[in-house]
């Protein structure tokens, strides 16, 4: 019974319309933006940016304000958006970003380490991959669902997000909680430079 209830709750708060942000054309390095979507009756009413590289914030804001959830969904949802550096073209290597302490509302986890996906050889795709993450009370990823894929780049993003680390969500009394988050990867075609 408890497992069935968990599945129903998982489905009731899953975004039904997701839009990956556009990669700003003037950005020459990657970055990460962490935000909280405030959802009422299934619509994102407002968005708080907890941390982020300035050149990516407006793209994230424009995309996430277009997300939709089931009409009964209400609450705050964490979204971590990683813009993969376009200058890394190595197969099997990926950049890691350690994030400083981020102020987070009670009940939401915070990312502490974000790993960029390795760009697969023979791929020339660009766009976004969106995943929903279920986080355990320890902050580890216990379940993930790909909501929007991008061909062979999807598996590289799944491999990268499995290496992410989160500070667990806590209630007001300081007890660790299971939580959820959305991970978004935005990729552009690699820039090969000397």
Q: 49-85, pLDDT tens digit by residue?
A: 999 888 999 999 999 999 999 999 999 999 999 998 8
CA distance 55 to 85: 13
Which pTM does this prediction carry? 0.86
**124 lies in a domain?**
yes
At 155-191, the pLDDT tens digits run 999 999 999 999 999 888 889 999 999 999 999 877 7
Q: What is the DSSP string of 108-173?
A: --EEEEEEPPPPPTT----EEEEEEEEE-TTS-EEEEEEEE-BTBHHHHHHHHHTT-EEEPEE-TT
Instruction: Give me the domain span that covers residue 52.
Output: 2-187
Q: Is residue 77 part of a domain?
A: yes
Task: Report if residue 193 sits inside a domain.
Answer: no
Number of domains composing the chain:
1
Domain-located, residue 51: yes
User: Is 192 inside any structural domain?
Assistant: no
Residue 194 lies in a domain: no
CATH, residue 179: 3.30.2420.10
Tell me whether residue 152 is in a domain: yes
């Amino acid at each position: 019974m408890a497992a069935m209830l968990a599945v129903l709750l998982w489905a009731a708060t899953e975004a039904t319309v997701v839009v990956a942000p556009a990669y700003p054309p003037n950005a020459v390095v990657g970055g990460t933006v962490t935000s909280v979507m405030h959802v009422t009756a299934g619509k994102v009413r407002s968005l708080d940016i907890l941390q982020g590289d300035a050149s990516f914030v407006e793209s994230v804001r424009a995309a996430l304000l277009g997300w939709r959830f089931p009409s009964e969904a209400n609450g705050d949802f964490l979204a971590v958006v990683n813009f993969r550096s376009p200058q890394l073209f190595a197969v099997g290597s990926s950049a890691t970003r350690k994030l400083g302490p981020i102020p987070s509302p009670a009940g939401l986890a915070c990312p502490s380490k974000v790993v960029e996906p390795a760009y697969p050889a023979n791929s020339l795709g660009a766009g976004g991959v969106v995943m929903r993450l279920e986080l355990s009370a320890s902050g580890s990823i216990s379940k993930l669902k790909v909501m929007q894929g991008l061909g062979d780049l999807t598996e590289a993003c799944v491999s990268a997000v499995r290496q992410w680390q989160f500070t667990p969500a806590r209630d007001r009394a300081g007890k660790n909680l299971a939580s959820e988050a959305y991970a978004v990867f935005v990729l552009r075609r690699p820039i090969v430079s000397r």
